[in-house]
Amino acid sequence: MEPSRVFETGKFSQLYNNAPSSADAATSKITNFQQLRIFPMVREAMIKEIKSQYNLKGPRHQSVDEIEIKPTPVQVAAIRKINQVRKIRKDVDVDEMTEGERIQYELQNENESNKTKVFTIAAETGSGKTWAYAANIMSKLKEDDFTWFQRDREQYAKFKSSEQVRAVILVPTNELVDQVYESLHRANSMALDYNNNHDGKIKVPAHYREFCELPGHKSLGLSIMKLSAGDAPISVYKRLRNHGKIDILVTTPSKLTGFSKLEAVDRPFKIFKSVRYCVLDEADTLFDKSFLQDTTSVVKNFPKLLDLILVSATIPKEFEKTLGNLFPDGKSLIRVATPSLHKIPKNIKILTLDADLAPYNGSKPRCLAQAIYAISKDGTEPEHVKRIIVFVNEKPEVEGLVDLLKTKFHVRQDDIVGISGEINAKERKELLEPFLRPAELLKDDPVGSKVKILVTTDLLARGLNFIGVKNVILMGLPKSSVELVHRLGRTGRMNQSGRVFIIVDRKSRKSWVKGLGTAIIRGVRIG
């Protein structure tokens, strides 16, 4: 069967592939962030944050400062769509209008200013979706600040100290809360320097200059908070009371629904009455049956919401159906989708390992151990500690596989960890941390590791940016095309190279696996 047909049937028929692409001629001409409508301070901080996390290896560049950071297709498309100025009519003479015409004109402008716009951002894994929405949210917050500053300096000072939450980012897991928060916090902390001649400094348009040079603007100066595992909801009120407004709150829907149980707080959701911007990251998960009620109940507490941004690396058919139920007028959705949605990036190389062949003789763990050994010796990632993610299908498999690799195949205790839902969030965070930072030099590893191995389930297959991971191994086939796309997407991120090893045996359906490499080369969508 042709690869294009293999990936449209059976377990590979859960994805919706009719989303229109947002690519056009204008999009393809944008090659740097200066061409996009982003608040100057946000643009500079974003570029610095992206560079700080770049996985630099080899002698090609002396430093990350020499690397030219370009916007990805989803970043271009999303920023162009979401950060547009709302179309409020100003080219009319109100004095020439009748009373009825003037009232209608004012109502139309008020409706356009205050109506909620719903955006969907769908793009392949590892394509830079976090900054596709964060650039917009941060820019809009700074534009709102600038508007207050221009209007009334005294009112601006009161606005900055008001007890309110202005934007909320919702994600499904505590791991994603931490990751998104860390990215925004790094950008918010970047030192900024301004100069109209742009001699290595930020070029600021004249009308922004006085605002950008305020004493508190040596960095972005936004107030960013996370509410994650172990954080009590009451901490949000304490932060507001002691420091004034929270510009961006990163959390999960379940954490916010917990506010309803706060007996010591009168009207616990009142601090969210000013939320203007809300992001649902991994929206297909947040709208599945296990999250939907919490997610919708939270968003209903944002009466002044202007932008609701739904972000996902996949559009399952069930998610598309839910969108249709929530937004029956399809025209109310403003869609952003890349041409590569549901395609596996061509910079990922797929290798199939048959555990039925000698010397493995049907032992998938033996095949895995050999693959790990081969990766450690293959000359890739010179002078760096290699990181490997091993995916299994069920939670009980994690601990058993880790123990087997240590006892039978002599993998060092310091070189391997297993993470599943059985481990509490705090311990998961500590175990996961080495896999989320850029790869370290061999000489800098405190325990002398040559490889770091993470064994896990689909718990960690979504959204997490494993920037230092070049190798992923699948022990057993995923249950659907949705899981396949997300597992493969843990490597090859932001156009960097990656490899995926799929270990099969006689119990596996090998036919579709053999076609996967060809499907990637041919740019076939997984369906």
Residues 214 and 361 placed together within one structural domain of the fold: no
Give 152-162 pLDDT, tens digit per residue.
988 888 888 88
Domain-ending residue, one of 316, 336, 356: 336
Higher pLDDT, 256 or 6: 256
Which residue's structure tokens are 């070189």? Answer: 415
Rounded to an integer, what distance in angstroms lies between the CA atom of residue 524 and that of residue 527? Answer: 9
End-to-end CA distance of the chain: 15
pLDDT at position 526 over 50: yes
For the beta carbon of residue 77, count every other beta carbon within 10 angstroms: 24
Pairing of strands 348-354, 246-251: unpaired
Task: List, in sequence order, every beta strand (DSSP E) within 204-276.
Answer: 224-227, 246-251
Residue 25's pLDDT is: 64
Residues of the chain with pLDDT > 70, as a percent, come to 83
Higher pLDDT, 306 or 206: 306
Rounded to an integer, what distance in angstroms lies between the CA atom of residue 374 and that of residue 367? Answer: 11
Residues 317 and 260 placed together within one structural domain of the fold: yes
User: Does residue 101 sit within a domain?
Assistant: no
User: Does residue 492 sit within a domain?
Assistant: yes
Residue 94's pLDDT is: 62
Residues of the chain with pLDDT > 90, as a percent, come to 48
State the average pLDDT over residues 2-21: 59
State the average pLDDT over residues 376-394: 93
Residues 305 and 266 placed together within one structural domain of the fold: yes
**Model confidence band, residue 49 (pLDDT cutoffs 50, 70, 90):** very high
Residues 327 and 389 placed together within one structural domain of the fold: no
How is residue 251 annotated by DSSP?
E
Residue 104's pLDDT is: 63
Using alpha carbons only, how large is the chain's radius of gyration in Å? 25
Name beta bridge partners: 472.
389, 500
Rounded to an integer, what distance in angstroms lies between the CA atom of residue 427 and that of residue 69? Answer: 34
Rounded to an integer, what distance in angstroms lies between the CA atom of residue 222 and that of residue 246? Answer: 8
Residues 167 and 194 placed together within one structural domain of the fold: yes
Residue 61's pLDDT is: 47
pLDDT at position 366 over 50: yes
SS (H, E, C) 228-244: CCCCCCHHHHHHHHHHC
pLDDT at position 70 over 50: yes
Domain-ending residue, one of 336, 369, 386: 336
User: Does residue 100 sit within a domain?
Assistant: no
Residue 160's pLDDT is: 85
Give 86-102 pLDDT, tens digit per residue.
766 556 666 666 666 56
Residue 65's pLDDT is: 67
How is residue 86 annotated by DSSP?
P
Total structural domains within the chain:
2
State the average pLDDT over residues 134-152: 95
CATH code (residue 143):
3.40.50.300
Residue 102's pLDDT is: 60
pLDDT at position 309 over 60: yes
Task: List, in sequence order, every beta strand (DSSP E) within 20-136.
Answer: 117-122
User: Does residue 185 sit within a domain?
Assistant: yes
Q: Domain of residue 251: give its range.
A: 18-84+116-336
Which residue's structure tokens are 């494993």? Answer: 466
Residue 3's pLDDT is: 42
Query: Which H or E run includes 455?
Result: strand 451-456
pTM metric for this prediction: 0.85
Phi and psi at residue 512, to the nearest 5°: -75, -30
Which of 61-75, 463-477, 504-518: highest mean pLDDT? 463-477
- Give the contacts of 394 (CB within 8 A, at least 6 positions apart): 457
Instruction: Tell which residue, 50, 1, 11, 55, has the closest CA to residue 477.
Output: 11
Domain-ending residue, one of 315, 336, 357: 336
SS (H, E, C) 90-119: CCCCHHHCCHHHHHHHHHHHHHHHHCCEEE
Residue 1's pLDDT is: 40
User: Does residue 93 sit within a domain?
Assistant: no
Task: Give the tokens for residue 51.
Answer: 């560079």
For the beta carbon of residue 95, count every other beta carbon within 10 angstroms: 6
State the average pLDDT over residues 259-267: 77
User: Does residue 301 sit within a domain?
Assistant: yes
What is the length of the chain? 527
Tell me what the pLDDT averaged over the chain comes to.
85
In terms of phi and psi (left: phi > 0; alpha: psi -120 to 50; beta: otherwise), the region of 9 is beta
Worst-scoring range by mean pLDDT, 24-33, 68-77, 378-387?
24-33
Residue 344's Cα: distance from chain center in Å?
17
Residue 145's pLDDT is: 94
Phi and psi at residue 359, to the nearest 5°: -95, 10
Give 106-121 pLDDT, tens digit per residue.
555 555 667 889 999 9
Residue 147's Cα: distance from chain center in Å?
29
**Model confidence band, residue 341 (pLDDT cutoffs 50, 70, 90):** confident
State the average pLDDT over residues 260-264: 75
Residues 132 and 24 placed together within one structural domain of the fold: yes
Instruction: Tell which residue, 182, 81, 94, 171, has the closest CA to residue 132.
Output: 81
Residues 319 and 360 placed together within one structural domain of the fold: no
Which of 295-299, 316-320, 335-339: highest mean pLDDT? 295-299
pLDDT at position 41 over 80: yes
Give 402-448 pLDDT, tens digit per residue.
999 999 999 999 999 999 988 888 889 899 988 988 888 999 999 99
Task: Give the tokens for residue 15.
Answer: 């994805």
Residues 415 and 462 placed together within one structural domain of the fold: yes
Residue 391's pLDDT is: 96
Pairing of strands 165-170, 348-354: unpaired
Residues 236 and 317 placed together within one structural domain of the fold: yes
User: Does residue 7 sit within a domain?
Assistant: no
Instruction: Tell which residue, 285, 269, 302, 335, has the closest CA to residue 119.
Output: 335
User: Does residue 110 sit within a domain?
Assistant: no
**Model confidence band, residue 312 (pLDDT cutoffs 50, 70, 90):** very high
Residues 57 and 136 placed together within one structural domain of the fold: yes
CB 212 within 8 A of CB 194: yes
State the average pLDDT over residues 143-155: 92
The DSSP code sequence of 170-194 is E-SSHHHHHHHHHHHHHHHHS---B
Residues 355 and 450 placed together within one structural domain of the fold: yes
Residues 287 and 415 placed together within one structural domain of the fold: no
